[in-house]
């Protein structure tokens, strides 16, 4: 008995020692070019980034902050991502359990009716015994596989990387959600401001009709001028109607982002907003730790790298130890006696030889998947740099346009005022007046949109740099 125990122990010790024969490779982050990811005239050398600023410091409007908090709690995309984390965590726990032996317990009862002409049936019947046999069995099975080539360790690391990838994916959803809520909120405020402007213009154009009628009665203009002025008023009413419809669709979009049914969205005013954070990009390499999608892409690469290690280990033999023992008896009364004990131990190395090329195919597929993951990782970094460059260019463009358009609005408002005075004295025709007023209104509406586009560029730059989830 002792010799048998020694043999089992020797096999286990041998398996433990052989675990030093590690064939799995160690993951090293690939060399990626990051120095020219940002398209800027001045190369950033500062390691600080706008992404490191928390979202409540960027978006200071209390109402907007409340909506962002609500969205992070209730948004369905966020809740779906959280369930993905739960599933990934379960898989990770299973990967950690790979080092431990497996244990199963079973109890069964077997009843047999033996043929009297069979070997066993004839044996029982010749002695005057019954040909029906009952057997009672309680069995426990213990199994263990030695991690000789690093297969189990690689599985564990792959599962852990997949879990971290899922967390990063959730952070990417969070970043995008914050950007979408902020962008929709500021757009609502900008449309409110445009409606206010259009309604004030409508009052003025209603008054203009009365003025043009008086000028017609005085013989300074004809009926065409009156109708053209009325048409201008109707055009303003159409603008207001379209803007109010935009409010409804924007409120509906905001409601979806907040995880609730469509409804009214309470808000501040566009004039009260001051979204002017310090624009700091940081060095491009900071995207590797700030952009959740880039982080997720690298964890996906790590996971598939470890799965390649698993596929590589399948080329080598596996060492397994299986022990089975329990109680077995044909007499229920003697089931728990010492004579009912049984046990067996099986140990061995298994080396696959011919299996229809399955192992090689799995390895080749794993290598191809790993290469795809590397390319996606590289692509995610390039995409991030492109988004930062585009958002920065948009911000600079809208800021420059804002200064010019402010001067344009001032000039056109004065021109519209002068044209009214000149029309009274008959120095210009009504078409010139209408054109001046249309230009002034459209430019003022564009100025408001210009300001929103500047805000939106800041929001997109913040998201592109990886801000919002930290």
Sign of CA dihedral 211, 212, 213, 214: positive
pLDDT at 125: 67
Whole-number pLDDT of residue 6? 47
Query: Alpha-carbon distance 209 to 234, whole Å?
Result: 11
Spatial distance between the Cα atoms of 79 and 81, rounded to a whole number of angstroms: 5
User: Which pLDDT does position 265 carry in this prediction?
Assistant: 95
Q: In 34-55, which positions are buried (b, 16+ CB within 10 angstroms) versus exposed (e)?
A: beebbeeeeeeeeeebbbbbeb
Q: Specify the fold of 22-101+149-316+356-464.
A: Outer membrane efflux proteins (OEP) (1.20.1600)
What whole-number distance in Å separates Cα of residue 297 and Cα of residue 374? 8
Integer Cα distance of 304 and 162 in angstroms:
9
Q: For 48-96, give the DSSP string.
A: --GGGS-HHHH---HHHHHHHHHHHHH-HHHHHHHHHHHHHHHHHHHHH
User: H or E element: which one contains 462?
Assistant: helix 430-464
Crossing angle of helices 358-424 and 292-313, rounded to 10°: 170
Q: Which residues pair with 350 in a beta bridge?
A: 318
pLDDT tens for the 470 residues of the chain, in order: 445 544 444 444 444 444 445 567 888 888 888 777 887 765 566 667 888 899 999 999 999 999 999 999 998 888 888 888 888 878 777 766 666 677 788 888 888 777 777 766 666 666 655 667 778 888 888 777 777 777 778 888 888 888 899 999 999 999 999 999 999 999 999 999 999 999 988 888 888 778 778 877 777 677 877 888 888 889 999 999 999 999 999 999 999 999 999 999 999 999 999 887 788 888 888 888 889 999 999 999 999 999 898 888 888 887 778 888 888 887 777 777 777 788 887 777 676 766 657 888 888 999 999 999 999 999 999 999 999 999 999 999 999 999 999 999 888 888 777 676 666 656 666 667 777 777 888 899 999 999 999 999 999 999 999 988 87
CA-to-CA distance for 288 and 382, rounded, in angstroms? 11
Alpha-carbon dihedral of residues 245, 246, 249, 255, nearest 10 degrees?
-120
pLDDT at 278: 81
pTM, entire model: 0.82
Instruction: Tell which residue, 405, 446, 457, has the closest CA to residue 194.
Output: 446
Q: Give the count of beta carbons closer than 10 Å to the beta carbon of residue 18.
A: 16
Contacts of 178 (CB under 8 A, 6+ apart): 55, 68, 71, 72, 463, 468
Per-position DSSP letters for 125-159, written without gaps between them: HHTT--SEEEEEEEEEEEEEE--SSSHHHHHHHHH
208, 212, 214, 218: CA torsion to nearest 10: 150
d(CA 401, CA 406): 8
Domain regions of the chain by residue span: 22-101+149-316+356-464
Which residues partner with 143 through β-bridges?
102, 322
d(CA 430, CA 436): 10
Q: Give the CA-trace dihedral at 356, 359, 360, 361, to 10 degrees.
A: 80
Question: What is residue 11's predicted lDDT score, i.e. its pLDDT?
Answer: 46
Q: What is the pLDDT of residue 17?
A: 45
Instruction: Return d(Cα 460, Cα 50) in angstroms, integer.
Output: 11
């Amino acid at each position: 008995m002792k010799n048998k125990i020694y043999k089992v122990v020797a096999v286990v010790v041998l398996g433990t020692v052989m675990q030093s024969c590690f064939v799995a490779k160690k993951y090293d982050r690939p060399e990626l070019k990051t120095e020219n990811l940002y398209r800027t005239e001045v190369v950033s050398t500062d390691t600080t980034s706008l992404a490191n600023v928390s979202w409540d410091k960027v978006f200071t409007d209390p109402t907007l902050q409340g909506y962002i908090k609500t969205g992070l709690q209730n948004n369905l995309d966020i809740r779906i991502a959280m369930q993905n984390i739960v599933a990934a965590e379960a898989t990770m726990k299973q990967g950690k359990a790979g080092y431990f032996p497996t244990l199963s317990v079973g109890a069964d009862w077997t009843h047999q009716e033996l043929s009297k002409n069979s070997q066993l049936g004839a044996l029982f019947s010749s002695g005057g015994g019954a040909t029906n046999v009952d057997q009672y069995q309680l069995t426990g099975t213990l199994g263990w596989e030695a991690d000789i080539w690093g297969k189990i360790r690689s599985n564990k690391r792959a599962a852990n990387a997949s879990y971290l990838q899922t967390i990063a994916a959730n952070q990417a959803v969070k970043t995008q959600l914050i950007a979408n809520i902020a962008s929709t909120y500021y757009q609502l405020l900008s449309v409110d401001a445009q409606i206010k402007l259009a309604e004030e213009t409508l009052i003025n154009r209603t008054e203009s009709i009365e003025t043009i009628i008086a000028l017609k009665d005085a013989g300074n203009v004809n009926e065409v001028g009156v109708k053209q002025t009325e048409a201008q008023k109707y055009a303003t009413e159409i603008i207001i109607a379209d803007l109010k419809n935009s409010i409804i669709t924007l409120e509906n979009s905001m409601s979806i982002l907040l995880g609730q049914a469509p409804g009214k969205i309470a808000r501040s005013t566009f004039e009260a907003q001051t979204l002017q954070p310090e624009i700091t990009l940081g060095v491009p390499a900071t995207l590797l730790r700030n952009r959740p999608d880039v982080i997720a892409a690298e964890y996906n690469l790590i996971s598939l790298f470890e799965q390649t290690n698993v596929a590589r280990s399948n080329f080598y033999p596996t060492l397994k130890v299986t022990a089975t023992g329990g109680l077995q008896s044909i007499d229920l009364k003697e089931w728990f006696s010492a004579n009912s004990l049984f046990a067996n131990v099986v140990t061995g190395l298994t080396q696959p030889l011919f299996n229809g090329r399955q192992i090689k195919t799995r390895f080749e597929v794993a290598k191809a998947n790993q290469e795809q993951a590397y390319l996606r990782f590289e692509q995610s970094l390039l995409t991030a740099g492109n988004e930062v460059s585009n958002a920065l260019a948009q911000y600079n463009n809208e800021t420059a346009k804002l200064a010019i358009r402010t001067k344009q609005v001032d000039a056109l408002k004065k021109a519209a005022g002068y044209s009214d005075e000149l029309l009274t004295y008959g120095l210009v025709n009504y078409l010139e007046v209408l054109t001046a007023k249309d230009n002034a209104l459209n430019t003022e509406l564009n100025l408001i949109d210009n300001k929103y586009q500047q805000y939106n560029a800041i929001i997109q730059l913040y998201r592109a740099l990886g801000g919002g989830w930290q």
